[in-house]
Structure 1
């Protein structure tokens, strides 16, 4: 019988533009596909292994982690390496590959009943290891450290998030193979979080039914409520959709990063699910049929709380992402009286508008405006209303700003990731970029300790 975890604090944004459980037309192929180092937290100085003009297959290593040569990042498609793009101080921005249309794969021999060390090596050589994240520090998992436990979430509670029970249909074997493999990589438990009422049935893991509003489905919430991290301990985290990718590789021996994602948002021209390859140019893939309007739209790779804006500087679909959200930019809006209106169609956490009288089922259309300016002040008790972790978020943020290491450690810095503070950032009247602060704090702490 599954464990049950109930969360009361949080906030589930009911936005317009949910994805119905139906598949859209297949996407067009991009002119180039890219591996972007910034998609992998902790990958600051990768070593390039290819040059423009080299021929590669799907699964061919393109670069490796400087501190661990066996940890490689592989090509999503077969074709020709066309560019190694660099920025300031020769920082690697992306490695682009022009597909040849054949999609040839590197051959990996996957034996049966692999032992832990053999499994680790095959995941490292194939690039599948890059799906794993570790805490503390929320960065790529260190192959030299065995995790105490592994946390997998299949309960996506973010706004307009994909429905995992639909994504896993027909791929139950991939899920089980991936979870069984993870259970071999730790002497502890593999916690598998599902939504309440889900019919997913798996073995070799501890299944946990999770009830409550967002961020109930985040791995950080699971860690805090089920098995908190103490100093000196390491756990791994990943989403169940990443387990599907890993399980497919272990079944077939082919490095195929393709995943089914949800196309959502009030201003999306179409809603539903579609197969996409990470590294694909989003605008090219949809052929201009992604947005309702040509201008004043914001396309987000991910959800509205933690996703990344798609632009000419960042046009590629990132690895580990499960949805695309399209919302109005809001730069063409000129409101009469602004906040002084009753605002029946506007969402407000603090009940500034009368929309709270419309009930929880009302769907809102939100744009990308901040509606205010950043202030150097942290309002008391705002974060606690939506932060379910047994951590004092205000004090932890202040400790990060001051970079008070003992205070940060005492307040739980090792348990958290930027995504855990997304809702706090949303309700913050001071408009402080909390996720960015937490990311900087984790990176600086990692450098200080190592």
Structure 2
């Protein structure tokens, strides 16, 4: 069974600095860090204290609300520091990596012979469960609630995001083992989406329902695909897994090792040699960014993730747990005189008022982080609907989140969306409102009050 998903509403943000399809090994990081903030809603309970020696795959902390959900070390080494912030909140676990890596042995598994409970137990005990997230609420999946379906999006449309077709190439065995295991966890289907014109390794998998996707960003967002294939109603749960996380799950099943390897795209206009790097989750970003060289070191922003949804990290920061892109763009600390009242040729805009990006749909732009305006009250322009492909009123939903109106949030489709789905509306917002933050706070409120 195959189904086409065609998205017409959206906006492709074409930027300079796309990664060349050339993969090199990153400089080995001395220290790796796992940040509990990467797992939204999780309060960590320490397992490996400072000074503990761990192998790759051994747990370093667990979720306080569900102690079966373990979070493993990406490398073997010593826990050298547990960084704490205000009120002793744990900000990061830092691991000094061994020169020779040692892996915890979880045993080789025959996926076809396993049942759903055995797969679930194995993924929980090996620390692979955090790779499975759920809708609604965009949090780590609750292992006690079975999903009606599982979705994997192999179509990337975010600006300069790593090309899934390229990074998954040659990994068919791991992908097949992972999706076979996932198919045991649901009574529904495992939906896999690929680009209509791409040559994805995901196309030849068994035990999946394949969909081909076309259209501008956010067509690659899994929430968009869920809304077109199997929309979420109140009381229903759908699980979501990223394609590169499938590789880690698949390799665990085939070899018994938790190998937290990532193929990361280093991109952006400030990078001299944009390309792909092989590294591990939690690596120091400096081992990747400065290997290729950057322009004007004092005036750049390093983003773990894509430019719309990623996290601002310092040069001594660490790769996010779910990220496979490092974006380096100019810091927007300059100001234009009368920038609001003159023709604009070097920026992207969905409007045709004094802007001309619509005349050059394939032009690539060198954009910085300047918001070109200050935070102000919501202005009703009708622009959001043009880049928002859901059957939802985005402005009304944002206002419901702002005033904590739970009834309105439910009625307006809050169960279907994640913060990343509002990245484009935030990008074009003339009011400079933090849409993704508002949606995240609204989802947290619903999770707390409704569950």
State the 1:443 CA deviation.
Answer: 0.8
Q: Does 1:186 align with 2:186?
A: yes
Task: Specify the alignment match of 2:235 in structure 1.
Answer: 232
Q: Does 1:413 align with 2:414?
A: yes
Task: Specify the alignment match of 2:139 in structure 1.
Answer: 139
**Residues 43-82 of structure 1 aligned to structure 2 (within 5 Å):** 43=42, 45-82=43-80
Secondary structure, counterpart of 2:298 in structure 1: coil
What is the aligned residue count?
446
TM-score by length of 2: 0.96
Native 8 Å contact 1:28 1:287 kept in 2:
no
The gaps in structure 1 that reach 5 residues or longer are none
State the 1:19 CA deviation.
Answer: 1.1
Task: Specify the alignment match of 1:300 in structure 2.
Answer: 303
**Residues 88-127 of structure 1 aligned to structure 2 (within 5 Å):** 88-112=86-110, 113-127=113-127
Structure 2 distance, partners of 1:353, 1:164, is 36
Task: Specify the alignment match of 1:279 in structure 2.
Answer: 282
Secondary structure, counterpart of 1:68 in structure 2: coil
State the 1:306 CA deviation.
Answer: 0.4
State the 1:436 CA deviation.
Answer: 0.3
TM-score by length of 1: 0.96
Task: Specify the alignment match of 2:165 in structure 1.
Answer: 165
**Residues 3-402 of structure 1 aligned to structure 2 (within 5 Å):** 3-24=3-24, 26-43=25-42, 45-112=43-110, 113-199=113-199, 200-287=203-290, 289-311=292-314, 315-331=317-333, 333-356=334-357, 358-402=359-403
Native 8 Å contact 1:9 1:385 kept in 2:
yes
Native 8 Å contact 2:107 2:255 kept in 1:
no
Secondary structure, counterpart of 2:125 in structure 1: helix
Secondary structure, counterpart of 1:70 in structure 2: coil
State the 1:289 CA deviation.
Answer: 4.1
The gaps in structure 2 that reach 5 residues or longer are none
1:348-403 deviation line (CA, Å, top 9, x unaligned): 22124443364211111100001101112242412111000011111111111111
Native 8 Å contact 1:29 1:285 kept in 2:
no
Native 8 Å contact 2:132 2:140 kept in 1:
yes
Native 8 Å contact 1:379 1:428 kept in 2:
no
The CA RMSD over aligned residues, in Å, is: 1.5
Structure 1 distance, partners of 2:418, 2:426, is 13
Structure 2 distance, partners of 1:306, 1:380, is 23
Structure 1 distance, partners of 2:207, 2:238, is 17
State the 1:290 CA deviation.
Answer: 4.3
